[in-house]
Amino acid sequence: MQVCDAHCHFFSSRFLEILAKDRRDIAPGDHAAVVSTLLGWDPPGPPDALADRWVVELDRHQVARAALIASIPGDEESVAAAIARHPSRLVGFFMLNPSASDAAERLLRALSDWKLRGVCLFPAMHHYRLDDERVTATFEVAASRGAAVFVHCGVLTVGVRKKLGLPSPFNLRLGDPLALATVAARFPKVPVIIPHFGAGFLRETLMAADQCPNIHLDTSSTNGWLKYHPGLTLEAVMRQALEVVGADRLLFGTDSSFFPRGWQRQIFDQQKATLDAIGVAPEAQEKIFSGNFQRLFA
């Protein structure tokens, strides 16, 4: 069975530099090296080298293609370099803050010049509402360029920020799948992806997806949000998601990010075992593990 990963982070040198720029104890220009050491990561090196490492890793695990997210505004160019180097294997996503003054310019450049395919919104992190007109404007551009919009809803923790002692004043109320449903319904041709089954807003995510046939869910990460629901299991979540949205709108993902840890095979093993345990047919599994991704990012 072919596997595509719809959710990986491209933690480039530039990503680390932008992320840690407020750590004034680190000399400018040294952030990537110092931060990598602090975190126990391999220094990412230039984007081309990191892209090559990703492809070696995907080969090792027989993963056909992966979406790589530029995980901070301003790092689109790193992912652009990676996908230009391996266009058949890597799909470029990027984090955009639609409330920033340069958002419109960044969005157009990333989708047109750099051929990225997915815009990632983190409303809780950047403090804007999903019914804001700047979000609508983002959807308009995505629609005109055939791009997907990925929207992080629910609980949000950024492990790397925590480890570096960076503040994370997130407003979790802003990551509401029901607010997303309003704008998603206005752009039915734009594929919308809610990661981690809504990260704690499972019910709202299923309601939003039931109303909007363009909303897809990604299965990525350990789904640690299950702890907010007494007794809830990944099996029950998968079963319910399949019942409400069906196999055509679930996208397998791992949330892999840094090296040497690399691709998170145990997430695949766990999700495969879960789908087998609840008796999901091979054709449906094929859609979840690769078919849907290949259709959206052909």
**Which residues sit at the interface with Zn ion, rule CB under 5 A?**
255
- Nearest position to Zn ion, beta carbon: 255
Which of 76, 255 has the CB closer to Zn ion? Answer: 255
Smallest distance from Zn ion to CB 5, Å: 11
CA-wise closest residue to 51 among 24, 20, 78, 14: 78
Nearer to Zn ion among residue 26 and residue 155 (C-beta): 155
Shortest Cβ 200–Zn ion spacing (Å): 15
Q: Quote the strand ranges of the chain, DSSP E.
A: 4-10, 65-70, 90-95, 118-121, 148-151, 192-194, 215-218, 250-251
Q: Which residue number, 17 or 218, has a Cβ lying nearer to Zn ion?
A: 218
Q: Where are the alpha helices (DSSP H) in 9-65?
A: 13-19, 31-39, 47-60
Which residue number, 75 or 255, has a Cβ lying nearer to Zn ion? 255
Residue 86 and residue 65: Cα distance in Å, rounded? Answer: 10
Which of 134, 179, 132 has the alpha carbon at shortest distance from 152? 179
Distance CA 54, CA 277 (A): 31
Region at 234 (left for phi over 0; alpha for psi -120 to 50; beta for the rest): alpha
Shortest Cβ 236–Zn ion spacing (Å): 23
Nearer to Zn ion by C-beta: 9 or 287? 9
**CA angle (280, 152, 70) in 5-degree steps:** 105
Task: Find out whether 8 and 294 touch, Cβ atoms under 8 Å.
Answer: no
Nearest approach in angstroms of CB 23 to Zn ion is 22
| Distance in Å, CB of 250 to Zn ion, minimum | 16
Least CB distance to Zn ion at residue 255 (A): 4
State which residue, 176 or 255, has the beta carbon closest to Zn ion: 255
